[in-house]
Amino acid sequence: MRQETANQEPIITPGWIIMPYKYSVGALASKFFIALRDNKKIMGVKCSKCNLVIVPPRSICSKCYSKLDEFVELDGKGTLLTYTVVHYVPPVEGLKPPFAYGVIQLDGADTGFTHILGEVDLQSIDVGMRVEAVFNENRQGNILDIKYFRPLASNL
């Protein structure tokens, strides 16, 4: 039977298969997204060994490899470490160019947090400027529950 089909061309039929699925982000990220959605709070995890605070949370410390599970609340304010201005239409963001992404070190955190910068003059963005999180009104439990980070009034 194998030899009979071995010499035949495969039949290819173009089409789409709709496959619903659910993806779990895990226990730590679930707590992070629930806090964003339900309370407009940004949570990090603190390492009990080396005191490193990581945002968004991870289960293992990147410095000492300890297990992480101690949540700490951050106030949503931070310092812009670096940024880029986007001048093209990205395939997954619903933003019209030009717009900016920034890496923000939130107060009390030891890691950078990448997100959209909003309510900002693209010509006056500056590394070191202070920013704060602005939350979407209709939050769904994902990273876009933070609408963007905007400059603090003290920068203007």
What is the DSSP track for 108-152? T-SSEEEEEE-S--TTS--TT-EEEEEE-SS--SSGGGEEEEEE-
- Which 3 state secondary structure label does DSSP give 143? helix
CB neighbourhood size of 118 (10 A): 15
How confident is the model at residue 104, as a pLDDT?
98
**Averaged pLDDT for residues 59-75:** 94
Q: In the chain, where are the structural domains located?
A: 25-155
How confident is the model at residue 156, as a pLDDT?
55
Residue-wise pLDDT tens digits, 48-64: 999 999 999 999 999 99
The percent of residues above 90 in pLDDT, for the chain, comes to 73
Q: Which CATH number fits domain 25-155: 1.20.1050.10, 2.40.50.840, 3.40.50.300, 3.30.2130.10?
A: 2.40.50.840
Query: Has residue 6 got a pLDDT over 90?
Result: no
